[in-house]
Amino acid sequence: MRYNERELLSLARQPAEKAAEILMRVPKKGSVLKKRLVKLVVNFLFYFRTDEAEPIGALLLEHCRITKEEENVFSISFVEEPERKYCFECDSEEQCQEWVEALKRASYEFMRRSLIFYRNEIQKMTGKDPLEQYGISEEARFQLGTQKQ
Amino acid sequence: MKLNERSVAHYATCNSPADHAGFLRKRVERHHHHAHHHHTTSYQRHWFVLKGNLLFYFEERESREPVGLVVLEGCTVELCEAAEDFAFAIRFDDAGARAYVLVADGQAAMEAWVKALSRASFDYMRLVVRELEKQLEEACKSLAACRNSPRRFSSSGRKRHLSNPALLPLQEKPTVLENGYSTWGSGGSVPGGATCPDRDEGHAKPPPLPPRRRSATGSATGSPAPGLSPAMPDSPVSPETDCFSKLHSWYGQEITALRREWQERQKRGHP
């Protein structure tokens, strides 16, 4: 699958939602925990060797499962391959919890659901669709149950 | 740079909602110089699917895997003065980056694509979510403070930029902390800026639990999410709860249920 890697690399240089040096292990046979600079930008998690400017890799955080594992550890896996886990070992339980929370909210799909929820709540409380005044109430992305065409 | 391509491809083809889809002709970009003959522009027709900030394209509508992906961050969408009618381009801020020139089947299709793509960025969605978060907070306040006469909030000042993402004011970007890392919104806690209304009032009853949205709108995915029972924990917007953090974990449950549903449908072997 081709993709605009250049733009993705540019994205990796943007200010991060969250960034830290964390021990990381990829789901490959024989891989070990390695210290990486892990950076969350929009719905991508980039990981770098600590002394390099360009990321080794990126994870798109859609349809993923963030799991709190044992102490200080969380993992990211994807719905179609739940046994393949990217593992992260933090410095503290607190840091671990912060990352779990941040990553759970990091997907575009999460934002979409939040928006639909707020929209619905506001409509119920005020009787008005809050998106109407912005002229975007018919936008497909703000609807629930949009069909794949 | 590695990318979790298998998962990305799966996201492209699974049942989660597409924000827009249709056939477009994509200009083929040539990288070598034509020194001695005319550069002939050719186009290839693909089936395009927009999901969130990702634009996928497939060989055919029925293809099981995308042939390509355009990540729509840091780009603008504009009409194109190309030789073709109904052409538009996705251009990136990064100087020297190639543009994607796409051609729609007609005026309406072109306009629909330009509109959909220009609102595709993560930041735009985040902006709208924040805006609604504020409005919900205001509505909570109204309800708690003044049961009989709910306030009308005028946000006409914000009107233009939400419908036209090009007018995004700079201060809407995530705030940058001293260590150079920016943070978004309320995360798990409820910081000063996004606190829920004064709970000491306590005069008003909490708003009723939201009804199941899916049954109200006739969800395309069929039966309601199995994981959620009517007896939900504290309504996320009741004055007693820590509004936004509860709201986020409430959402987490919904997502888990939805994901389970998608997985079950996967197992049942959808195409």
pLDDT, one tens digit per residue, over B173-218 is 444 333 444 344 333 333 333 333 334 333 444 454 444 443 333 3
Among candidates B143, B176, B214 on the partner chain, residue whose Cβ is nearest the Cβ of A145: B214
Tell me how close the Cα of B10 comes to any Cα of chain A, in angstroms. 7
* A108 neighbourhood in chain B, CB within 8 Å: 51-53, 122, 125
pLDDT at B112: 95
With a CB cutoff of 8 Å and minimum separation 6, the contacts of A85 are A27, A67, A75, A76, A77
Residue B59 lies in a domain: yes
Give the count of domains, chain B.
1
Q: Is A79 on the interface with B (CB under 8 A)?
A: yes
With a CB cutoff of 8 Å and minimum separation 6, the contacts of A114 are B129, B133, B247, B248, B251
Residue B87 lies in a domain: yes
Give the DSSP H/E element, type plus range, for residue B49. Answer: strand B43-51
Q: Return the minimum-mean-pLDDT range out of A18-27, A106-115, B106-115, B259-268.
A: B259-268
ipTM over the 0.90 cut-off: yes
Among candidates A62, A116, A125 on the partner chain, residue whose Cβ is nearest the Cβ of B207: A125
Residue B231 lies in a domain: no
pLDDT at B165: 61
Mean pLDDT of A133-141: 81
Q: Which residues are paired to A35 by β-bridges?
A: A23
Tell me how close the Cα of B21 comes to any Cα of chain A, in angstroms. 6
Task: Give the domain CATH number at B69.
Answer: 2.30.29.30
Of A1, A7, A17, A4, residue with least CA distance to A102: A17
- How far, in Å, CA of B13 to CA of A61, rounded? 15
* Domains annotated on chain A, with CATH: 5-110 (2.30.29.30)
Residue B234 lies in a domain: no
**pTM of the entire structure?**
0.70
Contact A102 B187 (CB under 8 A): yes
* A38 neighbourhood in chain B, CB within 8 Å: none
Among candidates B22, B122, B214 on the partner chain, residue whose Cβ is nearest the Cβ of A144: B214
Of A36, A12, A32, A33, residue with least CA distance to A22: A36
- How far, in Å, CA of B253 to CA of B220, rounded? 20
| C-alpha distances out from residue A23 to A67, B42, B177, B264, Å | 16, 47, 24, 33
Among candidates A14, A60, A149 on the partner chain, residue whose Cβ is nearest the Cβ of B7: A60
Mean pLDDT of A110-131: 90
Contact B207 A124 (CB under 8 A): yes
Residue B205 lies in a domain: no
Residue B164 lies in a domain: no
Please identify among residues 63-92 of chain B the ones whose CB lies closer than 8 Å to any CB of chain A: 65-71, 73-75, 92
Contact A126 B139 (CB under 8 A): yes
pLDDT, one tens digit per residue, over A33-92 is 999 999 999 999 999 999 999 999 999 999 999 999 999 999 999 999 999 999 999 999
Residue B79 lies in a domain: yes
Contact A139 B123 (CB under 8 A): no
Domain that includes residue B94, residue range: 5-31+40-121
pLDDT, one tens digit per residue, over B112-160 is 999 999 999 999 999 999 999 999 998 888 877 776 555 555 444 445 4
Q: Return the minimum-mean-pLDDT range out of B58-62, B101-105, B152-156.
A: B152-156
Q: Is the torsion defined by CA of A112, A118, A121, A122 positive or negative? A: negative
Q: Is B61 on the interface with A (CB under 8 A)?
A: no
> B16 falls in which pLDDT band (50, 70, 90)?
confident
With a CB cutoff of 8 Å and minimum separation 6, the contacts of A61 are A43, A44, A45, A76, A103, A106, A107
* A17 neighbourhood in chain B, CB within 8 Å: 174, 181-184
